[in-house]
Amino acid sequence: DAINTTIINFNNEKMQITWAARELFHNENVSFSYTFDEGKHKVWKPCPTYLLDQDYNSGCLFKTEGPTLAISIRNSNGSEELFSKKLKSDFYIKPNPPENVTFFWKEDTVTVSCNKPERAVKCLRLELQYKSTFDKEWQSRTSRCCHVGDQGFDSRKCYSFRVRLKRLVPSCNVVHYSSDWEAETFWMNGTLLDSCDDDRTPQSNTVILLSCLLAVLLMMLILLILLCKQQRLQMSVMPAIPDPKYIFADLLNDHNGNFQEWLDRTDHVVPQTKLEYEEPECITEAESQQEDEKNSDKQGPLEKIFAFSGTAENSDLKVAQIACLIPASNTIASFAGFHILMDDDMYVTL
């Protein structure tokens, strides 16, 4: 009884018994034998398969043949028994993982079921564990074999599920043995996925990309606002001074700074100021002739007097009827049947 052993009955099919060889037997290689017989005439069988720890026998693996088991550990030559024990193999059963696990989804409720084992179903419980991508710890639910369910699942989340079978203690087992976990599965809104990472990664990438774009746009907007404020402040405090090299670009580039040459070349560009001169309304010879004809019909022919340029006495009497005629050089002007040759320096006053 002073030797601690670990006894596991794998689904009532194989027995595994291990011990701490190095600590218990101090580098001595021991032998192991067992029997499922009862009564005085027992047939001891040597261990068919030893488990080794640094080349020392530390356990034995053999087939389960009955509910009652007796074991014996002896020294290397079998002359001395170092440890013996009698036990019920049914109290050390570790069940196999559940088989043919199915998931049934109805709205926010999930029901998990599996095939019933061939024996000892009353001693088994089906345990369901699940967690979403936002949970750190597993949520656990346990029910009688062979179905278990829970509700409150969010259709927008991806969940990981795993199930196993457990033996009841102490009514069926003396130690807490559970099966290995069935392969983990991933579900979202009743749809089986390969992994929750497939559902989470695109969303996280999209969120990161949108966050980066938003941050960049926000930074650009802040920079534009600061730049506009800086330009306004600079213009109000230090107004910009025009650079003369742009105003006199042709003087420096085309004339190499020759001011006189630049003036000669740009005289035609300088706008000429024209004095506005409004000439008095001229009374043409045709209009005066028409008036004379009208007067001649009523009063008879009148004498027509013509005064030429150079006569000072008539200039004050006919100011309103002056016609300023500036004919071209060597132009012939006609007045009431007279033909006069005009040059540049001649003026005619009517």
The architecture of the domain spanning 5-94 is: Sandwich (2.60)
C-alpha span between 184 and 195 (Å, rounded): 10
Burial of 156-179, coded b for 16+ CB within 10 Å and e otherwise, reads: ebbbbbbbbbbbeeeebbeeebbb
Mean pLDDT of the region 144-173: 90
Every domain range in the chain assigned CATH 2.60.40.10: 5-94, 102-193
Q: Is the pLDDT at 266 greater than 70, yes or no?
A: no
Band (pLDDT 50/70/90 cuts) for residue 2 is: low
**Looking at per-residue confidence, does 21 or 124 come out higher?**
124
pTM: 0.53
- Separation between Cα atoms, residue 210 and residue 218, nearest integer Å: 12
pLDDT at 337: 57
102-193 is classed CATH 2.60.40.10: yes
pLDDT tens for 4-26 read 889 999 999 999 999 887 777 77
Q: How far apart are the C-alpha atoms of 115 and 146, rounded to whole Å?
A: 7
pLDDT tier for residue 345 given thresholds of 50, 70 and 90 = low
Burial status of residue 32 (CB atoms within 10 A of its CB: 0-12, 13-18, 19 or more) = buried
Please name the amino acid found at residue 124.
L
> In this predicted model, which residue has the larger pLDDT, 9 or 206?
9
Under the banding of pLDDT at 50, 70 and 90, the label for residue 201 is very low
**What is the reported pLDDT for 319?**
43
pLDDT of amino acid 33:
93
Report whether the peptide linkage leading into residue 170 is cis, meaning its omega lies within 30 degrees of zero: yes
10 - beta bridge partners? 14, 94
Based on C-alpha coordinates, what's the Rg of the chain?
A: 62
Say how far apart CA 278 and CA 289 lie, in whole Å: 25
Instruction: Provide the pLDDT for residue 112.
Output: 92
The secondary structure of the chain in percent helix, strand, coil, rounded to multiples of 5, reads: 25, 30, 45
Evaluate whether 155 touches 189 at the Cβ level (below 8 Å): yes
Structure tokens at 235: 């213009």
When the pLDDT of each residue in the chain is averaged and rounded to a whole number, the result is 76
C-alpha 87/C-alpha 142 separation (Å) is: 29
pLDDT tens figures, 33-43: 999 988 778 89
The tokens describing 62, both together, are 């053999």
